[in-house]
Amino acid sequence: MTSEMRNLKVFASYRGTNYHGYQRQANAVTVQEVLEKAVSKVLNQPAGIIGCSRTDTGVHAKQFCFNVKTESSIRTVGFCRGVNGELPDDISILSCEDVPLDFHARYDCKGKEYLYRIHCSESKDPFSTDLAYHYRRKFNIEPVKKAASYLTGTHDFASFCADCSGVSTTVRTIYSLEIENNGDSVIILVKGDGFLYNMIRIIAGTLIDVSEGRINPDDMPSILDAKNRLRAGRTAVAHGLYLNRVFY
């Protein structure tokens, strides 16, 4: 049974370990491919989904939004249950709602929050393998917080972009950049209006370099001004990164 066209706004979460990122690829398994296969089966029609972001290989998402258009009359709760029944254990549908036909998960997104997890200990944590960066040194929180303070606000983040060729501007606004330390766990929480390719991983890597004394916290303004990727620090490993929340 079909009815008029609907647009479903769906929130999902996934563990990115087994996937070559979100975006569909011809020769590798991706989150988008697995989601589209499950959604198509439940809607009983080929379904192309529009995602809010393109996460890299190994990156996770606690909250990821996509929309899909369908003529199916399936109830939203039935959609969630049905798609979850088709998905592997490392991808989950969190919610589904009807939205106007012009809603677009990517273009209507007002901001994103990313989380970077670091496990600071000589010993590895078997419960955070592939879910946090294992860092074997002490994390020096105070200089890192000072460095982070320079990055909030609106800046040209070209020095924190691995490949800027596909964007019209490298200016972005970071609303907040918080560093939380609890025992062996360090979390870097970044909220902004949008992010460049590898920007969060380069910020995290640069802050790790600050912790090690390789970069002085007061060098951050000159690193920003340089607009040169070589001036910023390392790119932190992908598996510590999570798309934490998306805002509409």
User: What are the DSSP calls for 33-95, one per residue?
Assistant: HHHHHHHHHHHTS----EES--PPTT-EEEEEEEEEEEEE---HHHHHHHHHHHS-TTEEEEE
Q: Known catalytic residue: 130?
A: no
- Predicted confidence at residue 166, as pLDDT, reads 87
Q: Choose one of 56, 79, 99: the last residue of a domain.
A: 99
For residue 107, which amino acid is it?
Y
User: Would residue 89 count as lying in a domain?
Assistant: yes
28: containing domain: 2-99
Q: Hunting for tokens 């040194």 — which residue is that?
A: 137
The 10s digit of each residue's pLDDT in 154-183 is 999 999 999 988 899 999 999 999 999 999
For residue 161, which amino acid is it?
C
- Predicted confidence at residue 217, as pLDDT, reads 97
Sign of CA dihedral 36, 39, 42, 44: negative
Q: Hunting for tokens 């001004």 — which residue is that?
A: 225
Check whether 203 has a pLDDT greater than 90: yes
- Predicted confidence at residue 68, as pLDDT, reads 98
- Number of CB atoms found within 10 A of residue 195's CB: 21
Helix or strand (DSSP H, E) at 245: strand 241-247
User: Would residue 124 count as lying in a domain?
Assistant: yes
Residues 243 and 198 in one domain: yes
Check whether 97 has a pLDDT greater than 90: yes
Q: Residue 178's domain is classified under what CATH number? A: 3.30.70.660
Check whether 3 has a pLDDT greater than 90: no
User: Would residue 105 count as lying in a domain?
Assistant: no
Check whether 123 has a pLDDT greater than 80: yes
User: Would residue 104 count as lying in a domain?
Assistant: no
Residues 242 and 119 in one domain: yes
Residues 117 and 223 in one domain: yes
Interval 15-25 mean pLDDT:
95
**Pick the catalytic residue: 56, 156, 163, 219?**
56
Domain count, the chain: 2
Q: Choose one of 77, 99, 121: the last residue of a domain.
A: 99
The 10s digit of each residue's pLDDT in 57-68 is 999 999 999 999
Q: Residue 45's domain is classified under what CATH number? A: 3.30.70.580
Interval 77-101 mean pLDDT:
98
pTM higher than the cut 0.75: yes
Residues 117 and 79 in one domain: no
Interval 31-58 mean pLDDT:
95
Q: Tell me the average pLDDT of the chain.
A: 96
Residues 60 and 125 in one domain: no
- Number of CB atoms found within 10 A of residue 136's CB: 10
